[in-house]
């Protein structure tokens, strides 16, 4: 299932850009989407090496990571359990998790904070259980995300990605350094006070001045939107035929367009945006779109 995939790179026409490309990691798989596939690849190799058979992980009720883990577990004949943050709910994402056979345990926000304690409390005696952090954040995930860079057939002036935990960004920067590219990596944190992403990345790799963190594009915080972001998504999708989600990739593309307007990015430079997938999550926000 985790054979090398080499997701396609497509040129998109979006004024005023002359050389804008998108790495379509969203096309890797509908459920193990985008960077979640990249992250799980080496985690599952480690699971097999350690002869574990039960994935235990964590996420919110609209987590792309939970759906990805559930699908990956069922395809690899592994058991999966998720601790879901907040009160018991049902939605499209959790329905998919259950269809793939994942067991869900809802925990209040306070207990959710100490993930290691939850794991020990429930599965401390389960020798088969394997801890996967929220969002799949891990050293293995960084290795998987670095392979995005190995797949590039040519070099780019700028690469853009969205960041939640910064694991994907760490992998990309690591790949850029390993391949001795001069590419600048522009990272757009989707949470407020996004400077913490630098510290998160530093847990895994050493950071060069090729990293540019743009912390002004969170639109109020994680999973928060504004009417401006929603109309950006509508215009972008109409213009390019490419679907983007309000939580991650829309914030990245908004930043890219805005940085060009500011003159920080030139319209003729060669740019690659990483489409990290995660489109299912937007169904949790359909009322925001006001398109009915
Ligand atoms: C999870 C996710 C991210 C965040 O990736 P990190 O490695 O946690 O920074 C970005 N984009 C999409 C679509 C995601 O689902």
Conformation bin of residue 263: beta by default, left when phi > 0, alpha when psi is -120 to 50: left
Question: Model pTM?
Answer: 0.96
pLDDT tens profile 109-164: 999 999 999 999 999 999 999 999 999 999 999 999 999 999 999 999 999 999 99
Nearest-angstrom CA–CA distance, 69 and 179: 30
Question: Is the torsion defined by CA of 272, 191, 137, 278 positive or negative?
Answer: negative
Q: What is the distance in A from the centroid of ligand 1 to the CA of 7?
A: 17
Q: Ligand 1: which of 167, 211, 248, 282 to mutate, most ligand atoms within 8 Å of CB?
A: 248
Query: What separation, in Å, do the N-terminal and C-terminal C-alpha atoms of the chain show?
Result: 38
Nearest ligand 1 atom, CA 141: 7
- Binding pocket residue ranges, ligand 1, CB within 6 Å: 34-36, 64-65, 135, 162-169, 248-249, 276-278
Find the mean pLDDT for residues 96-118: 98
Q: What is the distance in A from the centroid of ligand 1 to the CA of 171?
A: 12
Is 9-30+144-288 assigned to CATH 3.40.50.1100? yes
CATH T-level assignment (fold) for domain 37-136: Rossmann fold (3.40.50)
**Inter-CA distances, 194 with 17, 65, 216, Å:** 27, 20, 8
pLDDT tens profile 6-58: 999 999 999 999 999 999 999 999 999 999 999 999 999 999 999 999 999 99
Longest CA–CA separation in the chain, Å: 58
Looking at residue 169, its pLDDT comes to 98
* Three-state SS at 168: helix
Contacts of 36 (CB under 8 A, 6+ apart): 64, 65, 68, 69, 136, 277, 278
Rg (Cα) of the chain, in Å, rounded?
Answer: 19
With pLDDT > 90 as the criterion, what percentage of the chain qualifies? 94
Nearest ligand 1 atom, CA 279: 13
Residue 206 annotated as catalytic: no
Q: Is the peptide bond before 16 cis (omega within 30 degrees of 0)?
A: yes
Q: Ligand 1: which of 59, 162, 166 to mutate, most ligand atoms within 8 Å of CB?
A: 162
Q: Which of 13, 33, 53, 63 is catalytic?
A: 63
Looking at residue 189, its pLDDT comes to 98
**Residue extents of the structural domains in the chain:** 9-30+144-288, 37-136
Question: Is the torsion defined by CA of 83, 85, 89, 92 positive or negative?
Answer: negative
Looking at residue 292, its pLDDT comes to 60
Specify the DSSP class assigned to residue 206: P
Nearest ligand 1 atom, CA 248: 11
Residue nearest to atom 13 of ligand 1 (CA): 278
Kindly report the number of other CB atoms within 10 A of residue 131's CB atom. 16
Find the mean pLDDT for residues 59-75: 97
Are the C-beta atoms of 94 and 168 separated by less than 8 Å? no
Chain centre distance of CA 53: 25
Looking at residue 285, its pLDDT comes to 84
């Amino acid at each position: 299932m985790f054979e090398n995939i080499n997701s396609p790179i497509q040129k998109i026409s979006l004024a005023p850009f002359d050389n804008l490309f998108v790495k379509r990691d969203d096309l890797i798989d509908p459920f193990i989407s985008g960077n979640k596939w990249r992250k799980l690849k080496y985690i599952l190799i480690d699971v097999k090496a350690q002869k574990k058979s039960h994935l235990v992980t964590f996420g919110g009720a609209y987590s792309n990571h939970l759906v990805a883990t559930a699908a990956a577990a069922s395809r690899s004949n592994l058991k999966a359990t998720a601790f879901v943050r907040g009160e018991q709910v049902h939605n499209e994402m959790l329905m998919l998790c259950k269809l793939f056979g994942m067991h869900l345990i809802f925990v209040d926000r306070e207990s959710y904070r100490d993930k290691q304690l939850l794991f020990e409390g429930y599965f401390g005696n389960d020798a088969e259980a394997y801890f996967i952090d929220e969002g799949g954040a891990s050293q293995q995930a960084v290795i998987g995300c670095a392979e995005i860079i190995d797949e590039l057939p040519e070099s780019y002036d700028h690469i853009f990605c969205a960041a939640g935990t910064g694991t994907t960004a760490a992998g990309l920067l690591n790949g850029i350094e390993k391949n001795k590219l001069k590419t600048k990596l522009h990272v757009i944190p989707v949470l407020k006070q996004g400077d913490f992403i630098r510290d998160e990345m530093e847990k895994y790799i050493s950071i060069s001045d090729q990293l540019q963190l743009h912390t002004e594009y969170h639109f109020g915080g994680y999973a928060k939107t504004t009417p401006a972001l929603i109309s950006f998504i509508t215009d972008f999708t109409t213009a390019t035929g490419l679907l983007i989600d309000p939580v991650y990739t829309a914030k990245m593309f908004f930043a890219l367009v805005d940085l060009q307007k500011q003159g920080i990015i030139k319209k003729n430079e060669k740019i690659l945006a990483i489409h990290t997938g995660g489109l299912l999550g937007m169904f949790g926000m359909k009322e925001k779109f006001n398109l009915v």
